[in-house]
Amino acid sequence: MKLKIRASIVGLASLGLVFFCGPTYASGTTEINYRSDGKAVAKACLGFLASGQATTALTNSGFEINRSTKKRTLFKKVEQSGLLPTAFLFTVAKKSGDQDYRRCGFHLTLPNRLAVERSSPEFNEVLNALRTELKTNGYKKSIRKNAVGRETEIWTGPHGSYKFQIVSSLGAVGMDVVPAK
pLDDT greater than 90 at residue 64: no
What pTM was estimated for this model as a whole?
Answer: 0.76
3-state secondary structure of 76: strand
Burial of 157 (0-12, 13-18, 19+ CB in 10 A): middle
User: What is the pLDDT at residue 112?
Assistant: 61
Total count of domains within the chain: 1
Range of the domain at 18: 2-24+31-179
Inter-residue contact 79 to 31 (CB < 8 Å): yes
User: What is the pLDDT at residue 96?
Assistant: 73
